């Protein structure tokens, strides 16, 4: 299994890691390619501060194009995390999208808290069970980021727990941005 990095996007700022692995429904001579994009996140000085790891169905895909968020996140955890960080500055954080079920079932704890930033997707249902799960995740030393926040109601408790709030500026009107 040999990972390959291929620059994509303008200025080569996104890298795809292709992993050849055996597909369970196929024989041992067949492989299935898994792609994980490593997209940089810059600080105000335009220096790379972290990377977001994103599942992709091919080296040319610009979006995840998956039917199930759980599968995409599981692929990033199982196949992409270690490879994305091989040969990379270990002081950088890794943002990983976690859908509701994976936040509730302890999947987060498979990744190191000192590197992994747990992205809470905007598609989760905020409620007592989710708040309790996020409090436990945070208590175990993980950084929480609320993803694509646009002021939707019901996320007030999550906002108080979040260390980082990613605001979806493209999803807001010019009036709202002011």
How high is the mean pLDDT of the chain? 74
Strand 164-167's sheet: what is its strand order?
4-8, 14-21, 32-42, 48-56, 93-98, 116-120, 143-149, 164-167
Question: Could you tell me if 175 and 120 lie in one domain?
Answer: yes
Spatial CA neighbour of 112 closest among 130, 86, 139, 94: 94
Structure tokens at 94: 């890794």
Domain, as residue range, for 156: 99-178
Number of folded domains that form the chain:
2
Question: Using one digit for the tens of pLDDT, what is the confidence trace for 37-88?
Answer: 788 888 888 888 898 887 655 445 444 445 455 555 565 565 567 666 666 6
What pTM value is reported for the model? Answer: 0.72
Question: Could you tell me if 89 and 2 lie in one domain?
Answer: yes
Structure tokens at 112: 């190191």
Distance CA(158)–CA(120), nearest Å, equals 9
Confidence (pLDDT) at 4? 35
CB-based burial label for 173 (10 Å; 0-12, 13-18, 19+): exposed
Backbone angles phi, psi at 138, to 5 degrees: -65, -40
Question: Could you tell me if 138 and 125 lie in one domain?
Answer: yes
Question: Could you tell me if 64 and 126 lie in one domain?
Answer: no
Question: Could you tell me if 38 and 12 lie in one domain?
Answer: yes
Distance CA(82)–CA(43), nearest Å, equals 23
């Amino acid at each position: 299994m040999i990972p390959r990095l291929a620059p994509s996007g303008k200025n080569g700022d996104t890298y795809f890691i292709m992993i050849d692995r055996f597909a369970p429904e196929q024989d041992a001579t067949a492989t299935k390619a898994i792609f994980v994009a490593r997209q940089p996140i810059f600080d105000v000085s335009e220096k790379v501060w972290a990377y977001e790891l994103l599942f992709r169905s091919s080296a040319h895909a610009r979006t995840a194009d998956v039917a199930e968020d759980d599968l995409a996140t599981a692929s990033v955890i199982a196949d992409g995390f270690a490879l994305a960080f091989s040969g990379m500055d270990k002081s950088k954080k890794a943002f990983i999208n976690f859908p509701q079920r994976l936040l509730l079932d302890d999947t987060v704890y498979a990744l190191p808290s000192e590197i992994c930033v747990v992205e809470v997707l905007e598609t989760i249902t905020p409620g007592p069970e989710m708040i309790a799960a996020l409090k436990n995740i945070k208590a175990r030393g993980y950084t929480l980021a609320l993803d694509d926040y646009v002021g939707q109601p019901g996320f007030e408790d999550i906002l108080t727990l979040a260390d980082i709030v990613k605001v979806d500026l493209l999803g807001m009107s010019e009036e709202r941005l002011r």
